[in-house]
Amino acid sequence: MIDVAAPSLGKPQSLRHRLARQRRINQLLQEAIQPTPGLVTNLGGLRIAARCHSADPQVHIGGDWYLATPLPDGDLVLAVGDVEGRGMRTVESMVGLRYTAASYAAAGEPPAMILSRLNTLLRHASGAISASAVIVRYRPSLGRLVWARAGHPPMLLSNHRRVVQLPHPRGPLLGMFTHPPYEQHSRHLRIGESIMLYTDGMIGRGTLEEGVRQLADRLVGVHDPAALLEQLDFHAAPGHDACALIARRTD
């Protein structure tokens, strides 16, 4: 008599092993695409904390992204972006924008030119898709910020007394026009000052002005960017991804 049922006894355990392996592969891919959902680091005299939250509980990657990377010339690039929509096509576009921005920044391109490159990338992508972004280049030796934005909410600047919106350089959404103009602004970042970059998922259901004002109230007198991130509401706009990056100059 042949026991045909015996081999099947190992199937549940084998399935569990395969599922565990697949989950680990997915985790590694997620970390490669968007390194860790939360970042806390010190770069170039800045204390930096960043976090992204995906609106999809099953997939920990959405259309929002951040970047905080040292460059070959000693500068830093800080960026936050938001690709419209959900699903794999949105994630694919997010990955392309994030790594393209990092590559051009490493090549020495200024923020406005990087946005022009990203716009061209989306214009040549299959199907219509748009995105917003703000890109900052920081020179530690001078404490100098240079930034450009593409249809993105205003950056916030905090010192010990108040929070203000930084000048909002002209720049339309990425992927909307063939040769749009992207302007730049610059300013000195003093020791003890902080900047905040964020996506509209942090703003909530109210108006842009109301949402920005609420974020500004949280930012007053910030000393620890990581502690502030813990206080922010990454679920302010249900159904929307959310991302924020805070950088404080420490020296």
Q: Structural domain boundaries of the chain?
A: 36-249
Instruction: Quote the Cα angle for 222-234-68, to 5°.
Output: 60
User: What is the chain's length?
Assistant: 251
DSSP state of 236: S
| Of the listed ranges 10-14, 39-43, 98-102, 238-242, the one predicted with least confidence | 10-14
User: Which are the contacts of 61, defined by CB distance < 8 A and separation ≥ 6?
Assistant: 30, 33, 34, 54, 91, 94
What is the token pair recorded at 139? 């020179």
Q: What is the pLDDT of residues 90-142, one digit of tens each?
A: 888 898 999 999 999 999 999 999 999 999 999 988 766 899 999 999 999 99
DSSP state of 174: B
Give the span between the Cα atoms of 116 and 98, in whole angstroms: 14
Contact between 76 and 145 under an 8 Å Cβ cutoff? The reply is no
**Quick count: other Cβ atoms within 10 Å of Cβ 181?**
12
**CATH T-level fold of 36-249:** Phosphatase 2c; domain 1 (3.60.40)
